[in-house]
Structure 1
């Protein structure tokens, strides 16, 4: 898909982050290359700089569009992302349009096209994440990247339905109250109409999606209610939630239920509420001021009901915005209200995203610079000491040089003997790290949940889900507390050992920084709140569906396993960083002793070598100071 598929004003608003990211990646690559070519020890910089690069490359912004049926989500996505095609791409119009949740992304490694997961897979307990790896289960609808008609044809399948009995609909997870049944199409045999597909994945070459933006389109209360993973994983992971209402309906009971149960408290903080279809309020018999006042009152009412700031409520007409862009009518586009919403969303995709990355970017680079400058300082000090040592030999006979060679040889033996302490320190540290891995072992920590899943397969009544989840969250929280205590004990041990080594060998090893797992603990608390809020008495009937109950437990297992694995990675990274300075200074001391012996042996066996070596060390010290200044310049360039 070419850039022409994106309105010009959006290219400027939404692609700033991509240019900024490429600039950052370029600076990071230049810094890494310079460090590599300059011979800096990778143990001091490679982990931290690789981590920054990985975060930049893998950083994605997900926008979740959430609404009941017929609120205009598909039309809004068409207006924002696909109007450059000159036609409607996603099915939109009267009645049901997009019938299943859909994820839109751009992955050049995958073929362009639409993948559809049959609704019958709900009878299996596997999660959506697991289904995504089972390619043979999906129905593929490929199309050429520049074929708008082919894409539109493929996406028309999002409206496909199946006629099933009411019992079958409930078995598939569609628990229908009277209001929901009233809108389900029935035939004379009592069959009801349900979506044919459970989930859709759309992969397209799109300039916005290529910048690291992805879209989650979630249609309707029934779709969300039947998929715990959507409510408990995908929507909470979104950076912004676009919640659509109809200006012609206001906040209905099902809208409020969707907002309360599936957007939730956490989602409310990053939600943008869209009051769509304001064109139904445009009345040529009323003044534009009266119409605007009515729309403003409706926005204030929506903000009050949903308990969000009024400035996060946007009154728009997605249909008029799409029409305006296709017809290139700037006045109609401005009146549609969509540009104001796009400006707010682009701030999430650009400014807030940059600030989030910048919060750790400069701190990481400064910490790395400090480690490398400390290495430089040690090398400069060693070169100066060696120069002064040789200068003291001027005018002395070879017997004095020989004694100094013997003395340095003894120093090296003493240092090698002292390495036993460092090896013992590594051994103790490895045991402590093993204790951390044992505490955060997912199989052990999540055993109660795994047992619950097995019980649910055969239990007539699905009970105990809430209590087991509460117990598991409490156990994981206890384990994280114990890990933090173990890491602090390890830090104290390393600090004492480094202080002793600094005294004994004149090292300059800093005490390791304290590692706090507060971020993991906060995410654990948020996850628990999501699950406890989901497990309301009203969902008891849904939980009696074995596959649904299993999917709920599997989604909890996946989220908790991810947190535990993240804790292990954080501990390992902290550990490598804590020992890096020690290992680097040990290696540097060995190299320095070897260089000193070489210099003295050359002086001992060659006339005139002493003066040359002193001059060489003077130049080396000067070069090291110059390279240290270059080092700071390179890092300051990367931090801009």
Structure 2
């Protein structure tokens, strides 16, 4: 399967996402049109739309230096330029993590963050919001040659004092001594810490994003890569070299930065054994070549503890040459097709399934609520029409009796409103306790206290203990939230049950707030931090910068998790009783319509037929409302979500 197939799959994915966005926007307009809109649903829907609009398929290429990652990226995505789009040189490899994407608003550019920024207590995510801090080069997308020249900056290095390299975490005295390097005054280091490259390549325009990482020396000293960027990628392609096998540094990177980034889950994780062309032996022939590849795959799989089928043998060099020259035989020999097939099918399908689960989780309840309320309104209107058709309105006593019954219903409705308002007051008190349990002041108090203790600690052990103390206190905070959440969930269930049992409301199962996801994510952050902190590379690197960067990354992730919990709790509390409110409004509308009809009939016997005709006419917009919703649900592919209505 050629790269054209990946292009096709990416295009179809982009088209599917665009249609999904359109159908969700239609659903939002439907809610507005029929009076079901409220701040909670609006915020939920707009968050989903923003997420889909900014969605990117991120493929991260990870491996030690000189494994051919850049050449593999060229072969997979940029062979259409007819040149080696991203330059790679035997004596120089990519020195800084590089992100390729398309920024429609910003245009075509390369932005480079200087290596000295490591000394600042600012995360990469924060730096990305400060374009002025980056060195900017415009890219001429009509000239691959000009772009190649600018891309040379990615391998730029400079000489600095050993002390500065030490502070930046790019020099280790003990490691240098083991290699026989002593009394070195100047050290060669990368000029840049991170690179952002935007240009309108068709795949990038459709939402593809590529992360090209340098070797262990850089990945091992950038916690944000390991703890945030790699876990956020849809796929990690770990690149080995067939001529070296799995080296000690390969294995360390795999265990501490790749496999751990997937939480031990192999989904979205592929291993590429590159440079298989180096294994060709003219004397051994084709059979010997095949046996050598199989042997390398078997040994690599055993070391990495993965299935042999999860390793893709490839020659990126041959694949690029074959695509540029349109040489099908050479392309087949490069064996790139299996990897392309994996990316085109498995990864994109996985991403699509993940997005659909997210849509169902976030607006499935709203859609179910809309369908239930619409069906109930239509059923009630049809029931009332059927009832009116059977009544003998010539009997004035009957008409009077119906009016009396309807006024009784009106009194019950008023009682419903009072009870609902009372329930809302009780719920709002409980909800405030839940929201306040995630208050930023509480979280920052714990963080600032631990940071002060950490500043006083001069040992790695002391820093480690402070990190543990931080997470223990955050766990305690979360435990308080768990208890409050349980009480709040019980209250919501009781309110819904009361209106169902006492007032005959339709039993729409309330959407309950869950804290489990935040617990899981917080524990995962702690585990990732421990794995990173205890890695051999981190232990051998100058501690003040690495541990501080690790701490800052952990803090940012933990704070964001709890901030999200606060936002979600607020959004949930604002909308969880909305279905009851809609049913009360619909109940009011039915009573008022019924009283109006009965008054007209009571005043003039000749208006019975007109009143029944009016009721029949009321069914049409309700049917249209239901049919519109059914079409939107089908367009969103949420049919299964509403198949078992509660």
Match of 2:489 among 488, 491, 498: 491
Match of 1:82 among 70, 78, 82: 78
- Aligned partner of 1:237 in structure 2 is 232
Q: Contact 2:403/2:598 (CA < 8 Å) preserved in 1?
A: yes
- Aligned partner of 1:68 in structure 2 is 64
- Aligned partner of 2:101 in structure 1 is 105
| Structure 2 SS opposite 1:608 | helix
- Give, in whole Å, the separation in 2 of the partners of 1:386 and 1:9: 57
- Give, in whole Å, the separation in 2 of the partners of 1:258 and 1:281: 24
Match of 1:250 among 245, 265, 272: 245
Q: Contact 1:74/1:90 (CA < 8 Å) preserved in 2?
A: yes
Match of 2:295 among 278, 286, 297: 297
Q: Contact 2:226/2:261 (CA < 8 Å) preserved in 1?
A: no
Provide Cα deviations, 1:86-109, integer angstroms capped at 9, x if missing partner: 112222021122111111111212
Shift of 1:627: 5.1
- Aligned partner of 1:328 in structure 2 is 326
Describe the shift of the 1:578–1:149 C-alpha distance in structure 2 as closer, same or farther (beyond 3 A). Answer: same
Q: Contact 1:448/1:468 (CA < 8 Å) preserved in 2?
A: no
Residues 200-211 of structure 1: matches in 2 within 5 Å?
Answer: 200-211=195-206
- Aligned partner of 2:124 in structure 1 is 128
Unpaired segments ≥5 residues, structure 2: 640-646
Q: Contact 2:169/2:542 (CA < 8 Å) preserved in 1?
A: no
Shift of 1:261: 2.2
Provide Cα deviations, 1:215-264, integer angstroms capped at 9, x if missing partner: 21110122112211112211222222111222222222222222222224
Shift of 1:177: 5.7
Shift of 1:114: 0.4
Residues 129-144 of structure 1: matches in 2 within 5 Å?
Answer: 129-144=125-140
Provide Cα deviations, 1:561-594, integer angstroms capped at 9, x if missing partner: 1211222343344445531210101111222233
Unpaired segments ≥5 residues, structure 1: 1-5
Shift of 1:282: 1.7
| TM-score under structure 2 length normalisation | 0.88
- Aligned partner of 2:644 in structure 1 is none
Shift of 1:599: 2.7
| Structure 1 SS opposite 2:209 | strand
Match of 1:464 among 462, 465, 470: 462
Describe the shift of the 1:250–1:444 C-alpha distance in structure 2 as closer, same or farther (beyond 3 A). Answer: same
- Aligned partner of 1:527 in structure 2 is 525
- Aligned partner of 1:3 in structure 2 is none
- Aligned partner of 1:343 in structure 2 is 341
Provide Cα deviations, 1:36-61, integer angstroms capped at 9, x if missing partner: 55x25235975665555444333322
- Give, in whole Å, the separation in 2 of the partners of 1:597 and 1:344: 65
- Give, in whole Å, the separation in 2 of the partners of 1:181 and 1:322: 40
- Give, in whole Å, the separation in 2 of the partners of 1:82 and 1:435: 54
Judge which range, 77-86 or 372-381, deviates more: 372-381
Match of 1:158 among 151, 154, 160: 154
Describe the shift of the 1:600–1:580 C-alpha distance in structure 2 as closer, same or farther (beyond 3 A). Answer: same
| Structure 2 SS opposite 1:62 | strand
- Give, in whole Å, the separation in 1 of the partners of 2:177 and 2:390: 96
Q: Contact 1:91/1:98 (CA < 8 Å) preserved in 2?
A: no
Match of 1:554 among 527, 552, 555: 552
- Give, in whole Å, the separation in 2 of the partners of 1:504 and 1:155: 71
Match of 2:356 among 333, 355, 358: 358
- Aligned partner of 1:317 in structure 2 is 315
Matched, 1:453 2:451: yes
- Give, in whole Å, the separation in 1 of the partners of 2:600 and 2:294: 88
Provide Cα deviations, 1:479-523, integer angstroms capped at 9, x if missing partner: 444434433322322222222223443322424244433333332
Describe the shift of the 1:59–1:484 C-alpha distance in structure 2 as closer, same or farther (beyond 3 A). Answer: farther
Shift of 1:408: 4.5
- Give, in whole Å, the separation in 2 of the partners of 1:160 and 1:303: 35
Describe the shift of the 1:496–1:181 C-alpha distance in structure 2 as closer, same or farther (beyond 3 A). Answer: same
Q: How many residues align?
A: 631
- Give, in whole Å, the separation in 1 of the partners of 2:371 and 2:452: 56
Describe the shift of the 1:307–1:297 C-alpha distance in structure 2 as closer, same or farther (beyond 3 A). Answer: same
